[in-house]
C-alpha cells in the first residue's frame, strides 16, 4: 500500500469519492476497507441494493475487464472476490430483511466444472430478500446433486449458474436428464451467468435466462404468480 493510500480516511470522502475508492479497494482486494466503506454508506442512509450494485457489482465489473485483458491474474481476482464477499456478507441480512411472505422454494447451484459463485450468491441473497426460500448447492455441481436434492425436498424453481463458455453447456445435461426422468415439467428452470443469453436459455430448454439477480427475482415472481393462478383456476 502506498503512503498516499495510507492517508485516505474513508469516512471523510463524499459519497461519489467513496464509491470510486471502493472500486479501487475491490480491485486491490482490500476486504477490511470494503467492509468499512459498506458500513459508511449504510450509515449515510444508502439502500443496501444501491451499495451492492453501484459500489460492489460495478467494482467487480471493472476487475473483470482487466482480468480479461491480462492485466489482473487469478490470485488478484481471488482477493477481489474475497473483498466483494466481505461486503456482501454485511448486506445479506439487510437485503433479506423485507418480512415478505414466502413466495416459493428455489434450489440453486453453479454447474459442474465451474467454481464462480459470486453471481449465484447474489441471486440467492436477492431471492431471499424477495421472500423465496433458497437452498444453495454451492459450486461445481454434477447433475446428481441437483436431482437428488430436487427429489428429497419440495421445490418450485431450479436455478443454475455458469460463468464459463466451457461449463454453460452442462446446464443442458441437467435439463435433458430431468426430461429423461419425466420431472422437467415439475419445475421452473431459470439459468444465468455472464456468458449466457436469452437464445442460449431457449436452446437448452430452460424456462428463462436471467440477465441479473433483479431479473431472476422478477422472473421467479412471474412464474410463481402463474402457478398460483393455474392452481386457483
For position 164 contacting ligand B1M by CB under 6 A, the verdict is yes
CA distance 191 to 89: 24
For position 64 contacting ligand B1M by CB under 6 A, the verdict is yes
Cell of 14: 463524499
HEC letters along 61-122:
HHHHHHHHCCCCCHHHHHHHHHHHHHHHHHHHHHHCCCCCCCCEEEEEEEECCCCCCHHHHH
Q: Could you say which of 48, 129, 193, 201 contacts ligand B1M (CB under 6 A)? A: 193
For position 125 contacting ligand B1M by CB under 6 A, the verdict is no
For position 130 contacting ligand B1M by CB under 6 A, the verdict is no
For position 142 contacting ligand B1M by CB under 6 A, the verdict is no
Q: Are 133 and 84 in contact (CB under 8 A)?
A: no
Q: Could you say which of 165, 179, 186, 203 contacts ligand B1M (CB under 6 A)? A: 165
CB of 72 to ligand B1M, least distance (A): 8
CA angle 100, 162, 88 (to 5 degrees): 45
Q: Could you say which of 30, 79, 122, 171 contacts ligand B1M (CB under 6 A)? A: 122
Q: How many binding residues for ligand B1M (CB under 6 A)?
A: 36
From 139, 146, 105, select the one nearest 121 (Cα to Cα): 139
Interface segment toward ligand B1M; rule CB under 6 A; list 6-14, 22-30, 55-63, 145-153: 55-63
CA distance 109 to 158: 9
Residue partners of 79: CB distance under 8 A and separation at least 6 = 28, 29, 31
CB of 11 to ligand B1M, least distance (A): 26
Q: Could you say which of 88, 107, 123, 217 contacts ligand B1M (CB under 6 A)? A: 123
For position 63 contacting ligand B1M by CB under 6 A, the verdict is yes
User: Greatest CA separation found in the chain?
Assistant: 68
> Which chain residues interact with ligand B1M by CB under 6 A?
57, 60, 63-64, 67-68, 74, 77-78, 81, 108, 113-120, 122-123, 159, 161, 163-165, 190-195, 210, 212-213, 216
Amino acid at each position: 500500500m502506498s503512503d498516499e493510500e495510507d492517508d485516505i480516511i474513508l469516512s471523510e470522502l463524499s459519497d461519489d469519492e467513496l464509491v470510486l475508492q471502493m472500486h479501487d479497494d475491490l480491485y486491490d482486494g482490500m476486504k477490511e476497507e470494503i467492509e468499512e466503506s459498506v458500513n459508511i454508506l449504510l450509515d449515510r442512509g444508502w439502500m443496501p441494493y444501491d451499495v451492492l450494485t453501484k459500489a460492489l457489482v460495478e467494482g467487480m465489473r471493472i476487475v473483470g475487464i482487466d482480468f480479461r485483458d491480462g492485466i489482473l491474474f487469478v490470485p488478484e481476482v481471488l482477493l477481489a472476490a474475497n473483498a466483494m464477499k466481505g461486503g456482501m456478507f454485511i448486506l445479506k441480512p439487510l437485503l433479506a430483511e423485507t418480512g415478505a411472505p414466502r413466495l416459493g422454494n428455489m434450489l440453486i447451484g453453479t454447474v459442474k466444472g465451474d467454481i464462480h459463485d459470486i453471481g449465484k450468491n447474489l441471486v440467492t441473497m436477492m431471492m431471499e430478500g424477495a421472500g423465496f426460500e433458497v437452498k444453495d448447492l454451492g459450486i461445481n455441481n454434477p447433475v446428481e446433486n441437483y436431482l437428488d436434492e430436487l427429489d428429497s425436498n419440495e421445490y418450485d424453481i431450479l436455478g443454475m449458474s455458469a460463468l464459463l463458455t466451457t461449463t454453460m453447456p452442462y446446464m443442458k445435461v441437467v435439463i435433458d436428464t430431468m426430461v429423461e426422468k419425466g420431472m422437467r415439467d415439475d419445475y421452473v428452470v431459470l439459468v444465468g451467468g455472464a456468458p449466457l443469453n436469452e437464445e442460449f436459455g431457449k436452446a437448452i430448454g430452460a424456462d428463462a435466462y436471467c440477465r441479473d439477480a433483479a431479473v431472476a427475482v422478477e422472473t421467479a415472481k412471474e412464474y410463481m404468480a402463474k402457478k398460483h393462478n393455474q392452481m386457483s383456476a
